[in-house]
Amino acid sequence: MRLVLLGPPGAGKGTLANLLKETLGLAHISTGDMLREEIKNNTALGQEAKRFIETGKLVPDELVTRLIRQKISVDPQVKRGYLLDGFPRNKQQAEDLDKILEQIQQPLDYVMYLEATLPVISARLTGRRVCKRCGALFHIKNKPPKKEGVCDRCSGPVYQRPDDKEETIKTRLDVYLKDTAPIIDYYKKQGKLKKLDADQSAEVVQDVLMKILNEEGKHHNS
């Protein structure tokens, strides 16, 4: 099964993907994580992407689409299906994705639109902390690491992403409204959009999503 998780920053795409990848046995493909990995490894692509990410802007389409094309058409780990988290992020990327998937005859099944309100988004983003080593997600109020600054899973350092600082969050939300929100309609027209109330916890959102898949006759690992 091939799903897109679509929604504003702070809607809980990453947290939900972490739950769903276990439940559904799917690969989790996060362009944000892939780009941060490129930066960590100081690759040419990472160097190019860094200034966009740190200022909350979108990385140029061709760089991100190149990463995605490579991942979904070459990587054997994604054969059984995947959750796309953070891609596509504008109309151009959505169209490019459709073209890539058409070439390999593997269309998307659904686009899960996580709708969340501004106060919830802000609280999630400003409190979010991430493990620098393994990417595990924490929140200073809702899910603090057992030992401050140390990852529960791998003991790596837990930090605040530079783009989760208040001034950059504003830019990211503006970019979302201007560039990303229009693709909600793009997928609605394709009949692939399912809307979920993402103010709720990731566990509740997962339950609702599983119910939708069951109603649609899609079962695990299909």
Which window, 48-56, 104-112, 122-130, 192-200, contacts ligand AMP (CB under 6 A)?
Answer: 48-56
Report if residue 11 touches ligand AMP, rule: CB under 6 A. no
Other CB atoms closer than 10 Å to residue 128's CB: what's the count? 20
128 is catalytic: yes
Choosing from 5, 26, 53, 183, the residue that interacts with ligand AMP (CB under 6 A) is 53
CB of 75 to ligand AMP, least distance (A): 17
Which window, 50-58, 108-116, 117-125, 152-160, contacts ligand AMP (CB under 6 A)?
Answer: 50-58
The one catalytic residue among 2, 36, 71, 89: 89
d(CA 155, CA 123): 25
The one catalytic residue among 161, 165, 192, 194: 161
d(CA 127, CA 101): 36
Site string for ligand AMP, 54-93 (x = CB under 6 A): --xxxx----x---------------------xx-x---x
Other CB atoms closer than 10 Å to residue 180's CB: what's the count? 22
Report if residue 135 touches ligand AMP, rule: CB under 6 A. no
d(CA 126, CA 163): 10
Provide long-range contacts, Cβ within 8 A and 24+ apart, for 71-80: 71/29, 71/34, 72/29, 72/100, 72/101, 72/104, 72/106, 73/100, 73/103, 73/104, 75/27, 77/27, 78/27, 78/29, 80/25, 80/26, 80/27, 80/221
Which window, 37-45, 49-57, 150-158, 202-210, contacts ligand AMP (CB under 6 A)?
Answer: 49-57
Binding site for ligand AMP (CB under 6 A): 9, 31-32, 35, 52-53, 56-59, 64, 86-87, 89, 93, 163, 172
